[in-house]
Structure 1
Amino acid sequence: MVQKSAGRQLEVQCPCKVIAAARLGRHRMRGYMATTNDGRHDDDQACKVLLVDDDLDLLEVTATLFRQYGYEVVTATDGTEAREVLNCTQDIEVLLTDVALPGLGGVQLAHEARRLRRDMKIILVSGNLTMTDASGLVDSFEFLMKPYRISDVLRLLAKPTR
Structure 2
Amino acid sequence: MAERKNLKVLVVDDEQDIIEILTYNLRKEGYEVATATDGVEAVKIASRFLPDVILLDIMMPNQDGVETCRQIREIEELQHAFIVFLTARSEEYSEVAAFEVGADDYINKPIKPRALLSRIAALFRREIKKEQEVSKISVRDLVIDRSSYTINKAGTTLVLPKKEFELLYFLAKNPNIVFSRDDLLQNIWGSDVYVLARTVDVHIRKVREKIGDDYITTVKGVGYKFEQN
Q: What TM-score do you get using the length of structure 1 for normalisation? A: 0.66
Q: 1:156 Cα shift? A: 2.9
Match of residue 146 from structure 1? 109
Give 1:98's aligned residue: 57
Aligned to 1:123: 84
CA distance in 1, matches of 2:81, 2:31: 15
* Higher RCO structure (Cα 8 Å, ≥6 apart): 1
Distance in 1 separating the partners of 2:70 and 2:115: 22
Alignment of 1:1-162 (within 5 A): 42-43=4-5, 46-89=6-49, 91-116=50-75, 117-127=78-88, 129-130=89-90, 132-139=92-99, 140-141=102-103, 142-157=105-120, 158-159=122-123, 160=127, 162=163
**Aligned counterparts of 1:79 and 1:68: Cα–Cα separation in 2:** 25
Tell me the amino acid that sits aligned with residue 73 of structure 2: R
Percent of paired sites with the same residue: 27
Q: Deviations over 1:80-139 (max 9, x none)?
A: 1111102222x3111101100101111111111122121100001111x11634332112
Give the aligned length: 118
- Bigger Rg, structure 1 or 2: 2
Q: Structure 2: state its 5+ residue gaps.
A: 128-161, 164-229
Task: Looking at secondary structure, tell me which structure has more helix per residue.
Answer: 2
Normalized per residue, the structure richer in strand is 1
When residues 155 and 102 of structure 1 are mapped into structure 2, their CA distance, relative to the original with a 3 A threshold, is same
